[in-house]
Amino acid sequence: MEFALFCTKVNILILILALCSPCKFIQSPMDFGPSNLLETKSSASLDFGRIVFNSPSAVLRPQSPRDISLLLTFLSASSFSKVTVAARGAGHSIYGQAQALDGIVIEMDSIPSDIYIHKKRDDESGFSYADVGGGALWVELLEESLKLGLAPRSWTDYLYLSIGGTLSNGGISGQTFKYGPQISNVLQLDVVTGKGDLITCSPTSSSELFYAVLGGLGQFGIITRARILLQDAPPKVKWIRAFYDDFDTFTGDQELLVSMPELVDYVEGFIVPNEQSLLSTSVAFPAHLGFMPEFHHVSSAKVYYCIEFAVHDFQPEGTSAEQVVEKISKQMSHMPSLMYSVEVSYFDFLNRVRMEEMNLRSRGLWEVPHPWLNMFVPKSGIKEFKDILLENISPNDFEGPILIYPLLRDKWDANTSVALPDAPTGGDGVEQVVYIVGMLRSANPASSAAWCLDDILRRNRQIAEAASAGRIGGKQYLAHHPSLLHWRDHFGRHWNRFAARKNLFDPLGVLAPGQGIFPRVP
């Protein structure tokens, strides 16, 4: 275990821990060196959002789950100050969720990722799976599992996120309609609770903890290891884009695609606020193609919509992906001659945002503020929500993609901690389709949007409030709320369960202070 110390506030605690721990333990500021120290301190107070910068008092780089358990056991057994602890995965939060003001940040990447792949034999029942450290990145798991021709079933668009970080939220991408979010594809977890207990949990053992932690915003425990379901990986993927100039036709085709999971493997989509935005939006397809569809447009202010879908290509087994795409596209209603397709390796398909990252980095546009807003919106409110969105953005200075695609409610386990919008009752029963909408905006300091980060944040709040109101009934994903009252509202009828789980697993409110839900109990 290594500690970097920044002020004396938690030094006493760390010295006590040093005496208790059998392992290599402390690096004092002198051992660490001033430049290293500053670097560690600033990285722990920085995230992808670049909006909130809360400095911790100390950074822990544990070598094993036991190091984490020791720290949390000590904090929960003593009335030591008001020290809080945040696990930090890849630090890709937007609003400081992995930060701990004057507390301790645990850098999860210091625990060895130790990826073990179990490939199911033909004569064996059960599943192929991977056991992987909570601080490992999804891209590491992909690389390792592909060596055996396997891969996880459910993804995020970007792979340089940690296993523990996405499982604490949900983990959504174009495969979610088919397999559910990443949290629906976990068999078992090793967790250190806020009280310091090291527990292996699953749907059949310590299930309350298992379901609490999945989508639990880091509130109940720290995931140190996860068992993730795997499936056969296709060698190649057929990747298709189709364009629309009518919103109802666009969503109609998206809903058609998600009703065909036996043919389709991935469905997403995005809004093209005007033709120019295709140049500034993240639309890598793949990046080196310089993809630029011809709209033959009538008006430069026109809004377009794009569906992106993919079919796994297992050739020469069974029907070719080409034939499957042909069969599907006959049923679609996109603008004539506005469908494009490419074939890429499975790895390149899943890693597509990395290429966009490299492109943005080279132009100095990656390390800028990202005032993102993600919302779950029930199907019944999606058109109204789209109108609110478009009223609140100026297409000429909006930088970044606006993703919009359908998910299916029954692929989410209601026992997990994620708050989905309530299903409307009456009519013909539960409305299955819920849209995820991501306004993934960059506030480029060099552009006109830069001067108004506060203004963008204020507009985001207005959009989120309008969308959460009665008629639309949306809920934030990767939520950021200003008060306990807002959080109660966010969890709605599940608030009592969420609060009871907190009381059970982290009663002193030590964990994940950056989410701003529960105060630390002295």
Q: Which of 145, 166, 277, 281 binds ligand FAD (CB under 6 A)?
A: 166
- Phi, psi angle pair for 476, to nearest 5°: -70, 145
Stretch of residues binding ligand FAD (CB under 6 A), selected from 114-122, 258-266, 451-459, 508-516: 508-516
Stretch of residues binding ligand FAD (CB under 6 A), selected from 162-170, 259-267, 380-388, 496-504: 162-170
Q: Please say which residue, 183 or 278, places its beta carbon nearer to ligand FAD.
A: 183
Q: List 137's β-bridge partners, or say none.
A: 162
Q: What does the alpha-carbon distance between residue 181 and residue 419 come to, in Å, rounded to a whole number?
A: 13
In the complex, least distance from residue 403 CB atom to ligand FAD, rounded to whole angstroms: 8
- Phi, psi angle pair for 310, to nearest 5°: -145, 150
Quick check: 438 and 370 in contact, CB under 8 A?
Answer: no
Quick check: 408 and 432 in contact, CB under 8 A?
Answer: yes
Q: Tell me the two tokens of residue 354.
A: 């990395």
Number of helices and strands (H, E) in the chain? 17, 18
For position 293 contacting ligand FAD by CB under 6 A, the verdict is: no
Quick check: 431 and 378 in contact, CB under 8 A?
Answer: yes
For position 69 contacting ligand FAD by CB under 6 A, the verdict is: no
Q: Please say which residue, 108 or 373, places its beta carbon nearer to ligand FAD.
A: 108
In the complex, least distance from residue 165 CB atom to ligand FAD, rounded to whole angstroms: 2
187 exposed, middle or buried (CB, 10 Å; 0-12, 13-18, 19+)?
Answer: middle
For position 71 contacting ligand FAD by CB under 6 A, the verdict is: no
Q: Which of 62, 89, 215, 273 binds ligand FAD (CB under 6 A)?
A: 89
In the complex, least distance from residue 405 CB atom to ligand FAD, rounded to whole angstroms: 11
Q: Write the binding mask 346 to 385 for ligand FAD: x where contact by CB under 6 A, - elsewhere.
A: ----------------------------------------
In the complex, least distance from residue 194 CB atom to ligand FAD, rounded to whole angstroms: 10
In the complex, least distance from residue 30 CB atom to ligand FAD, rounded to whole angstroms: 29
Q: What does the alpha-carbon distance between residue 275 and residue 295 come to, in Å, rounded to a whole number?
A: 8
**CA 246 vs CA 204, 249, 305, 450, 517: distances in Å:** 47, 6, 7, 31, 40
Chain centroid, CA 307 distance in Å: 21
Q: Which of 57, 73, 84, 93 binds ligand FAD (CB under 6 A)?
A: 93
Q: What does the alpha-carbon distance between residue 430 and residue 471 come to, in Å, rounded to a whole number?
A: 16
Q: What does the alpha-carbon distance between residue 137 and residue 132 come to, in Å, rounded to a whole number?
A: 9
For position 92 contacting ligand FAD by CB under 6 A, the verdict is: yes
Q: Please say which residue, 217 or 264, places its beta carbon nearer to ligand FAD.
A: 217
For position 269 contacting ligand FAD by CB under 6 A, the verdict is: no
Q: Which of 96, 164, 369, 371 binds ligand FAD (CB under 6 A)?
A: 164
Q: Which of 306, 377, 389, 478 binds ligand FAD (CB under 6 A)?
A: 478
Q: List 151's β-bridge partners, or say none.
A: 231
For position 175 contacting ligand FAD by CB under 6 A, the verdict is: no
Alpha-carbon Rg of the chain, whole angstroms?
23
Give the catalytic positions in this structure. Answer: 92, 157, 268
Closest residue to ligand FAD using C-beta atoms: 164
Q: Please say which residue, 103 or 381, places its beta carbon nearer to ligand FAD.
A: 103
- Do the bridges between strand 150-152 and strand 266-272 make them parallel or antiparallel, or are there none, so unpaired? unpaired
Q: Write the binding mask 120 to 139 for ligand FAD: x where contact by CB under 6 A, - elsewhere.
A: --------------x-----
Buried b (16+ CB within 10 A) or exposed e, 155-175: bbbbbebbbbbbbbbbbbbbb
Q: Tally the residues of the chain.
A: 522
Nearest by Cα to 348 from 479, 197, 236, 490: 236
In the complex, least distance from residue 140 CB atom to ligand FAD, rounded to whole angstroms: 12
Q: Tell me the two tokens of residue 482.
A: 């200003």
Q: Which of 108, 136, 324, 418 binds ligand FAD (CB under 6 A)?
A: 108
Q: Write the binding mask 180 to 219 for ligand FAD: x where contact by CB under 6 A, - elsewhere.
A: -------------------------------------xx-
Q: What does the alpha-carbon distance between residue 416 and residue 411 come to, in Å, rounded to a whole number?
A: 12
For position 515 contacting ligand FAD by CB under 6 A, the verdict is: yes
Chain centroid, CA 492 distance in Å: 22
Q: Please say which residue, 303 or 512, places its beta carbon nearer to ligand FAD.
A: 512
Q: Which of 169, 175, 416, 468 binds ligand FAD (CB under 6 A)?
A: 169
Q: Please say which residue, 37 or 436, places its beta carbon nearer to ligand FAD.
A: 436
Stretch of residues binding ligand FAD (CB under 6 A), selected from 139-147, 391-399, 485-493, 511-519: 511-519
**CA 67 vs CA 23, 198, 260, 360, 441: distances in Å:** 9, 11, 47, 38, 38
Instruction: Catalog residues that contact ligand FAD under the rule CB under 6 A.
Output: 47-48, 86-93, 97-98, 108, 134, 156-158, 161-162, 164-166, 168-173, 217-218, 222-223, 478, 512, 514-515
